[in-house]
Amino acid sequence: MSLFLDRNSDSNAKPATIEIPRFGHLRQDANPILAAHMLQEMYKLVTGWQQELVQIDRDRIEVVASGTILAGWLESRTFQRNSAGEAIPTPYVTVDPIDLAIVDPQAGYRLCGLDEYGQLWTRSCSMTEILNVSQAIARYQQLKDLDARKQQVERHIRQVLEDLVLLRIKIED
């Protein structure tokens, strides 16, 4: 290959520059370190969920072992006196668990729940039973909360697994 210089051309002229478009770092470069880092992050996330599932199972065992569990709620009603001094009961209202710190000895309490057919059942609850019944209801609520969290974590794990299977299939193609 020969090189020819034209002495008549302007020696100070610069060759035309071509602008090369710049793309984001992730789009242009294959970055194995970033890919490995993302896989490590996913591993940490999934193992964290695995540990959380183990802890949820321990917590469930602890709640079940701590006493009776009742799927229900407490209702109370107070009595108002009419002009003749007779006690007239007010309608029952659901007792807020926070309000159970102060049990009204004048109120009437009942335990309520739904049977397997969805029908409401009630039974009176004496003052001596209120503490035990409210604790049993609280245990039931703890189990519900633990089960809801367990289902949420399991959904996350299933979603990651599905995504990884699809990614593996895509990579193998």
Please write the tens of the pLDDT for every residue from 14-32. Answer: 555 666 555 555 555 788 8
> SS3 of 123, please?
strand
3-state secondary structure 93-107: EECCHHHHHCCCCCC
This prediction's pTM = 0.69
What contacts 24+ positions apart, CB below 8 Å, involve 45-54? 45/160, 46/157, 46/160, 49/153, 49/156, 49/157, 50/157, 52/149, 52/153, 53/150, 53/153, 53/154
Q: Which residues pair with residue 114 across a beta bridge?
A: 120
Q: Which residues pair with residue 87 across a beta bridge?
A: 81
Above pLDDT 70, what percent of the chain? Answer: 77
CA 105 remoteness from chain centre = 38
pLDDT for 150 equals 98
In whole angstroms, give the CA distance from residue 79 to residue 107: 7
CA 42 remoteness from chain centre = 18
Query: pLDDT tens, 48-102?
Result: 999 999 999 999 999 999 999 999 999 988 777 777 777 777 777 887 766 665 6
Q: Lowest mean pLDDT: which of 69-78, 94-103, 121-130, 135-144?
A: 94-103
